[in-house]
Structure 1
Amino acid sequence: MVSAVRTVLGDVRSEELGVCDAHDHLFLSSPQLPGQELNDASAARAELDAFRAAGGSAVVQWTPYGMGRRAADLPPLSRAAGVHLVCATGMHQAVHYDPELLDEVRGKLADVFVSELTVGIGTSGVRAGLVKVAGGFHALDAHARWTMTAAAEAHHATDAPIAVHLEAGTGALDVLDLLCGELGVPPHRVILGHLNRSPDLVVHREAAASGCWLAFDGPSRAHHATDWRMPDAVLALAEDGFGHRLLLGGDTVVTGARSVDGGPGMPYLLRRVRPRLASAVGEELVERMLVDNPGLAFAADWR
């Protein structure tokens, strides 16, 4: 087995990934976001071009099963923009799905994940490179436990990394207790998203000490007033010796957030977040968060 990042164009070595947006979306739709769907391939191409022009070379798309991934569109976009793309399988919170869709995969969710990781998504032939699941606000409901159990089964079958949406940045330790404690997933295969939304340094340190990855993603979301705390949180973790566990992402989820639609979009991560963070923690650590760490976090010994 050779450790590699599974992109939509095939497996690549960790060191080939380059400057990486570790959590974002090119396509996404949800009943919770009516009229704000990311479903325009031309706009996705323009956003990737803007990201590439800002110095980016890889994007990990966390859009999971049943939320409009448009997997077949990803390989041509990757080739045209010259940006590595990683696609996700997995399942978000129940509110993002029609009940009928959830019923379709009841009892076979882990098999769906494994198939999408190893065979391909639908008829696209595109293999997913991670499993995305989600917790709740300070808690894990039955749906979260179901999806995380399926994600753990898929991990054990394939070695795929598991990326976790933390609702408002909360519940990190409960997630680790379930995935790594009860379900036996190695911490270095778990990526916790949205730590910037709940800048609790005690929780951050405890999570990092487990050996998992901590993603600071979604800067300048209008309803998250924690951007100014993020450099301090990163600095505290680095000073405690956890700089090698940190990731950065943009998490563009609606049309108005794209740079091509007047929002910050993917380029903001490199145009504004990178220099702001470098002024607080140094360029060397920021380079590690954007280049070295993602290559390791999203690599797997694929089975």
Structure 2
Amino acid sequence: MNAVVRTVLGDVPANALGLVDAHDHLFLRSPLLPGRELDDPRAAEAELRAFAAAGGGTVAQWTPRGMGRRAADVVAASRAANVHVVLATGMHQAAHYEPSRLPVRPETLAERFIADLTTAPVRAGLVKVAGGFHGLDEHARHTMTAAAAAHHATGAPVAVHLELGTAPLEVLDLLCGTLGMPPGAVILGHLGRCPDARVQRDAARAGAFLAFDGPSRAHHATDWRLFDQLAALADAGHADRLLLGGDTTTSGARSVDGGPGMPYLPRVLRPRLAREFGEEFAARVFEHNPARAFALRHTPPPGRPGGGAG
């Protein structure tokens, strides 16, 4: 059976994604980002069009439940820009939600995640969860337990926000060791924010995908360390585990508002990777690896095209 990726416009062959921004946001809202929300549909569409014009083909939006996903607007932007978008379900750290919405039992969360992936008007294609700083609190363990259950029910990948790049091995111990997920269904985000080469190699050796993101004004140190980290992992034999994303979290980071934004990946990073490491490496990081990372592990009944609010 051919691998497929679940997008907001329906399931597409995994080998048809084109150049992939493996971690980004078209819409995002959080109490921790007052006044810096991504909530303008016209700006989101313009950014997606700019990404397409630069050669981009697919964006994975890691915005989880309760943080302003605006699924119907994602559908409209995806269709207008002719760019595939993979929507997230899941749940971020507790700090991103009003206290009245917490805690939530893992069983209840799993039901919600599975519904988002299989029966929602606009269907998600991945589950986003989050660790803590150098560890996992009770909320993280609850959300990851629910995410693993959703993976086992649907085959969807699980993408993990690592707080400042920390605790990837603890995440893998829980998701893959305790909860039985295959490591290849786990995408670890923000590893560049804690450039511990040994930990990165261990995470890659375990079989997880490693998503490096940027450029970022808030985490600019990740930008100039990026190529050294990619080179070290490739030299260690882990080029097949690497992904790159923009992780645009505020309007000022968008290309349409003066930032590097989503187009930076196809316009700047991919050509640089090709010059530094060769065309085969660039194609692997931006096309072949994401096709494997975001593919459903087994294919539920095909999702119908999206069109409503999620």
TM-score by length of 2: 0.93
Match of 2:44 in 1: 44
The root-mean-square deviation of aligned C-alpha atoms, in Å, is 1.4
Shift of 1:277: 3.0
Q: Does 1:302 align with 2:299?
A: yes
Deviation string, structure 1 residues 140-160 (Cα, Å, up to 9, x no partner): 111111100010111111111
Distance 1:144 1:104, change over 3 A: closer
Deviation string, structure 1 residues 182-234 (Cα, Å, up to 9, x no partner): 11000010000111111111111110111110111122333331211111111
Take 2:195 and 2:274, find their aligned partners in 1: how far apart are those partners?
A: 19
Match of 2:202 in 1: 206
Take 1:194 and 1:10, find their aligned partners in 2: how far apart are those partners?
A: 28
Q: Counterpart of 1:83 in structure 2: which amino acid?
A: V
Distance 1:104 1:164, change over 3 A: closer
Take 1:61 and 1:105, find their aligned partners in 2: how far apart are those partners?
A: 25
CA contact (8 A) 1:232 1:280 kept: no
CA contact (8 A) 1:172 1:207 kept: yes
Q: Does 1:162 align with 2:158?
A: yes
SS of the aligned residue for 2:221 comes to coil
Give matches, 1:149-228, under 5 Å: 149-228=145-224
Match of 1:286 in 2: 282
Q: Which deviates further from its counterpart, 215-224 or 146-155?
A: 215-224
Take 1:148 and 1:216, find their aligned partners in 2: how far apart are those partners?
A: 21
Match of 2:102 in 1: 102
Unaligned runs of 5+ in 2: 301-310
Match of 2:32 in 1: 32
Distance 1:223 1:208, change over 3 A: closer
Shift of 1:107: 4.9
Shift of 1:104: 6.4
SS of the aligned residue for 2:56 comes to coil
Shift of 1:272: 2.2
Deviation string, structure 1 residues 83-102 (Cα, Å, up to 9, x no partner): 00110000000100011223
Q: How many residues align?
A: 299
Take 1:82 and 1:207, find their aligned partners in 2: how far apart are those partners?
A: 34
Take 1:85 and 1:168, find their aligned partners in 2: how far apart are those partners?
A: 26
Take 1:116 and 1:93, find their aligned partners in 2: how far apart are those partners?
A: 19
CA contact (8 A) 2:193 2:219 kept: no
Q: Counterpart of 2:267 in structure 1: which amino acid?
A: R
Q: Which deviates further from its counterpart, 191-200 or 111-120?
A: 191-200
Take 1:72 and 1:164, find their aligned partners in 2: how far apart are those partners?
A: 24
Identity score, percent: 66
SS of the aligned residue for 1:150 comes to helix
Unaligned runs of 5+ in 1: none
TM-score by length of 1: 0.95
Distance 1:137 1:97, change over 3 A: same
Deviation string, structure 1 residues 101-141 (Cα, Å, up to 9, x no partner): 23566751110000000001xxxx11100000001111111
Q: Counterpart of 1:210 in structure 2: which amino acid?
A: A
CA contact (8 A) 2:105 2:142 kept: no
Match of 2:22 in 1: 22
Deviation string, structure 1 residues 232-271 (Cα, Å, up to 9, x no partner): 1111111121111111100001111111111111011222
Q: Counterpart of 1:5 in structure 2: which amino acid?
A: V
Q: Counterpart of 1:231 in structure 2: which amino acid?
A: F
Distance 1:93 1:104, change over 3 A: closer
Shift of 1:273: 2.1
Q: Counterpart of 2:284 in structure 1: which amino acid?
A: R
Match of 2:261 in 1: 265
Give matches, 1:239-254, under 5 Å: 239-254=235-250
Shift of 1:282: 2.1
Match of 2:78 in 1: 78
SS of the aligned residue for 1:299 comes to coil
